[in-house]
């Protein structure tokens, strides 16, 4: 897929400066002539599997209901007010992955997935807000969006969906195929299908600091080194045996204060954490892998590409791939940065690859993390 303009007549830099995290942007004809990448049948088949995350949302007779996948059966196509949502379609379809990669003017560490929503007439998921930025690309039919910057984000109790209790939109748009709407985090919105429609949501990762903090402490547990054991050779007689002695807490505080987190610790943690595959992502290596020698010959002829399921990041001397990390030298760094940024290496770009890099690439090939060609 060739590079698409996406943002109309503004540049990515202007978008980030004026809209990102700040205000909505409606882009008419963002992708001219755009058509659904998957048919309804293909989407329904994906939703019926246990390796794709899916949901069925219905609003029949004014009653909200939600069912998590696998979705073995769906309501009739001619029945109104139901929605099928499939997360991470980019993991299972090459064209969906290509579309998601069009948004790489933003960092890979932020880019999450492409979700496809199919809805019959009147279908939607109710007025709500997201905790992350989102691009809403209309792929089929029409959807009416109502949006608003309201501060009151209280929800209706007792529902299976997070639906705003007091939705007060101040703008309304009808999106046609190829139109796209960007919304910043916590911007209230409600999309209702006009006839059958498909909407593609390009979402972004926005982990909470609490989530990051908890996982960072777990990560650091393996590297903390505090030698010695508590001792109190000057212990005195206590007439309050149940009270924890102050000197015990003082000694413990002094020891724990020796724990220090460096920027390198945080870099390694964050790179591994943000490249870790989701729980439903599984890799499959080649059924009959080439020998290491034949692999090297094939790479020099065909080149090599990252699997669409692979997340590869780097920072400084550290390279991260699918939750693993390692340090590299200057020469290898250039090769691996090319692979991470371009998501492939052409045959000629292997000329400077060291034996260590070729060995790593062969291991990744066996694991299904990279593919020939």
Is the pLDDT confidence value at 172 over 70?
A: yes
Q: How is domain 5-204 classified at the architecture level of CATH?
A: Sandwich (2.60)
Q: Encoding tokens for residue 156?
A: 């209706």
- Residue 244 confidence class, pLDDT cut points 50, 70, 90: very high
Please say whether the beta carbons of 83 and 118 come within 8 A.
yes
Q: Where in the chain is the domain with CATH 2.60.120.650?
A: 5-204
Alpha-carbon distance of 191 to 169, in angstroms, equals: 11
Helix (H), strand (E) at residue 335: helix 330-342
CATH 3.40.50.1950 fits 209-224+258-372, yes or no: no
Q: What pLDDT is recorded for position 2?
A: 64
What is the end-to-end Cα distance of the chain in Å, rounded? 16
Mean pLDDT of the chain: 95
**308: buried, middle or exposed (CB in 10 Å: 19+, 13-18, 0-12)?**
middle
Angle between helices 355-367 and 330-342 (to 10 degrees): 30
- Mean pLDDT value of segment 258-285: 94
- Mean pLDDT value of segment 341-365: 91
Alpha-carbon distance of 113 to 196, in angstroms, equals: 23
Please say whether the beta carbons of 366 and 344 come within 8 A.
no
- Residue 331 confidence class, pLDDT cut points 50, 70, 90: confident
Whole-prediction pTM: 0.92
Residue appearing with tokens 């910043």: 184
Q: Where in the chain is the domain with CATH 3.40.366.30?
A: 209-224+258-372
Alpha-carbon distance of 57 to 67, in angstroms, equals: 7
58-74 pLDDT, tens digit each: 999 989 999 999 999 99
19-57 pLDDT, tens digit each: 999 999 999 999 999 999 999 999 999 999 999 999 999
- Residue 224 confidence class, pLDDT cut points 50, 70, 90: confident
The set of residues, in sequence order, having a beta carbon less than 8 Å from that of 235 and lying 6+ positions away, is: 245, 247
Is the pLDDT confidence value at 294 over 90?
A: yes
């Amino acid at each position: 897929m060739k590079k698409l303009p996406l943002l109309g007549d503004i540049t990515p830099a202007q978008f980030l400066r004026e809209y990102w995290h700040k205000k909505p942007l409606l882009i008419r004809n963002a992708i001219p002539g755009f058509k659904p990448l998957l048919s309804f049948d293909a989407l329904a088949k994906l939703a019926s599997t246990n390796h794709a995350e899916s949901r069925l949302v219905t609003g029949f007779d004014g009653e909200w209901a939600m069912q998590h996948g696998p979705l073995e059966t769906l309501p009739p196509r001619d029945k109104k007010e139901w929605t099928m949502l499939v997360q991470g379609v980019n993991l299972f379809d090459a064209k969906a992955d290509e579309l998601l990669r069009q948004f790489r003017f933003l960092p890979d560490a932020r880019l999450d997935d492409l979700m496809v929503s199919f809805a019959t007439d009147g279908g939607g998921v109710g007025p709500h807000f997201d905790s992350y930025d989102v691009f809403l690309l209309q792929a089929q039919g029409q959807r009416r969006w109502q949006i608003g910057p309201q501060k009151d984000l209280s929800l209706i109790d007792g529902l299976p969906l997070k639906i705003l209790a007091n939705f007060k939109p101040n703008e309304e748009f009808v999106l046609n195929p190829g139109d796209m709407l960007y919304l910043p985090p916590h911007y209230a919105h409600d999309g209702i299908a006009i006839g059958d429609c498909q909407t593609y949501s390009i979402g972004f990762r926005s982990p909470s600091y609490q989530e990051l903090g908890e996982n960072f402490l777990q990560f650091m547990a393996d590297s903390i080194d505090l030698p010695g054991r508590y001792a109190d050779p000057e212990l005195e007689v206590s007439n309050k045996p149940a009270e924890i002695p102050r000197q015990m807490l003082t000694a413990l505080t002094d020891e724990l204060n020796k724990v220090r987190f460096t920027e390198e610790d945080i870099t390694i943690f964050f790179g591994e954490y943000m490249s870790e595959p989701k729980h439903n992502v599984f890799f499959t290596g080649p059924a009959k892998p080439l020998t290491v020698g034949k692999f090297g010959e094939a790479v020099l002829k065909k080149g090599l590409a990252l699997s669409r399921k692979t997340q590869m990041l780097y920072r400084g001397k550290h390279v991260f791939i699918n939750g693993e990390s390692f340090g590299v030298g200057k020469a290898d760094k250039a090769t691996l940065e090319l692979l991470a940024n371009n998501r492939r290496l052409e045959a000629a770009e292997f000329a400077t690859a060291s034996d260590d890099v070729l060995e790593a690439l062969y291991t990744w090939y066996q694991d299904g993390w990279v593919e020939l060609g």
